[in-house]
Structure 1
Amino acid sequence: MKNFNRTNLSFSLCGLNCELCPMRLDGHCPGCGGGIGNQSCAIARCSMQHDKVEYCFHCTEYPCQRYEGIEEYDSFITHQRQLKDMIKVQEMGIEAYNAEQRQKVKILKTLLSDYNSGRRKTFYCVAVNLLPLKDIENVMGQIVKNVSFCDWTAKEKEEKIASLFQEIAVEQGLILKLRKKPVKKSE
């Protein structure tokens, strides 16, 4: 969006973890307020009308009607924890939150380079976005410690990692897939 720039391109204005988005990883989007390639956004326009707040929770009108149902459906990145992540940022501070996200990005890149046969990118992005860092690190630790894991095929490795992430997600009541908005059928 023209004239909309932000200093933190990792955590969006509205609470998305841009660094964990497949669009960002592929270089198709620089992130919220990242200049050229940045997508048009109603929330960014709203920020410009409200003194260019860095995060929506800095706005005096937050939470506004724009947040009603915001976590219900996903885009390229999961929206399932948008509001919770904004609360988390407020509680722990943006620097600590960004440090945690950098750890998640590092793990995500390892998953994509070493344990992906081309079909798990979105799954890994969603899992790393939604699951707590300690749980993700635990799964990665299990993989490293498993001696027989080295002898497995790439597909067996990614299936094992996916099943470990799924187990954690089920325990936490999370859905590790993008929830697309249903397409309205023409009459």
Structure 2
Amino acid sequence: MKNFKRDNLLFSLCGLNCGLCPMKIDGYCPGCGGGAGNQSCKIARCSMEHGGIEYCFQCGKYPCEKYEGVDEFDSFITHQKRRTDFERAEEAGIDFYNAEQKQKAEMLCDLLDHYNDGRRKSFYCTAVNLLDLDDVRAVMESIHDGLKPDESTLKERAAAAVKIFREKAGERQIVLKLKKKPRKKK
């Protein structure tokens, strides 16, 4: 959106973790307020109309009608923790929250570089997004301790990493899938 610029390109105006999004990782999206981005974003337009609010939780009208139904389905990135992440960012402070997200992004890059057999990017982005930082750290420790790159194929490492993530998510009763919008019947 023209003239919509933000300093924080990791955590969006509406509460999505852009730094963990496959579209941003692949360079297709600069992140919320990073330039081209989503040209029709009604939330970005609203921010500009309200003096450039950095995060919706800073607005006295949050949550407003723009959020109705927005979390029913995911896009390229999960929307499932948006409100929880807002609460965490507001409570802990945005700098602390961003530091946690940077750590998650580093672990995600490690997964994509060493445990992605070409079919796991969305899964890893979703898993790192939905699990808490301590859980992601624990999974990464298990992965690094149990999977030696010189002793297994990439496909074996990817399958084992996915299994470890699913086990941790199961302990937390988290489903590691994007909520896709049903296709319209013709």
Displacement, 1:146? 2.5
Displacement, 1:161? 0.9
* Partner of residue 45, structure 1: 45
Deviation per CA, 1:147-177: give whole Å up to 9, x if none. Answer: 7674122111111110111111122222212
* Partner of residue 16, structure 2: 16
Structure 2 residue runs of 5 or longer lacking an equivalent are: none
* Partner of residue 180, structure 1: 180
Displacement, 1:99? 0.4
Percent identity among equivalent residues? Answer: 56
Secondary structure of 2:96's counterpart equals helix
- Contact 2:53–2:59, Cα closer than 8 Å, also in 1: yes
Secondary structure of 1:110's counterpart equals helix
Equivalence map 1:32-111=2 (5 Å) = 32-35=32-35, 37-40=36-39, 41-111=41-111
Secondary structure of 1:28's counterpart equals coil
Between the aligned partners of 2:7 and 2:48, the Cα distance in structure 1 is: 14
Deviates more, 1:66-75 or 1:111-120: 66-75
Displacement, 1:103? 0.5
- Contact 1:21–1:76, Cα closer than 8 Å, also in 2: yes
Equivalenced residues, count:
185
Displacement, 1:68? 2.2
Between the aligned partners of 2:136 and 2:146, the Cα distance in structure 1 is: 16
Deviates more, 1:24-33 or 1:161-170: 161-170
Displacement, 1:133? 1.1
What's the C-alpha RMSD, in Å, of the aligned pairs? 1.4
- Contact 2:139–2:168, Cα closer than 8 Å, also in 1: no
Between the aligned partners of 1:93 and 1:134, the Cα distance in structure 2 is: 18
Runs of 4+ aligned residues of structure 1 deviating over 3 Å after TM superposition are 147-150
Deviation per CA, 1:45-64: give whole Å up to 9, x if none. Answer: 11111121100011111011
* Partner of residue 3, structure 2: 3
Displacement, 1:34? 0.6
Pair 1:148–1:116, CA change in 2 (3 A): closer
Structure 1 residue runs of 5 or longer lacking an equivalent are: none
* Partner of residue 128, structure 1: 128
Pair 1:149–1:29, CA change in 2 (3 A): closer
Displacement, 1:88? 0.5
- Give the TM-score of the pair, scaled to structure 1: 0.94
Q: Which amino acid aligns with 1:96?
A: F
- Contact 1:77–1:126, Cα closer than 8 Å, also in 2: yes
Q: Which amino acid aligns with 1:38?
A: G
Between the aligned partners of 1:82 and 1:147, the Cα distance in structure 2 is: 32
Displacement, 1:97? 0.4
Deviation per CA, 1:9-52: give whole Å up to 9, x if none. Answer: 110000000000000001011111111x3112111011111121
- Contact 1:81–1:130, Cα closer than 8 Å, also in 2: yes
Q: Which amino acid aligns with 2:105?
A: V
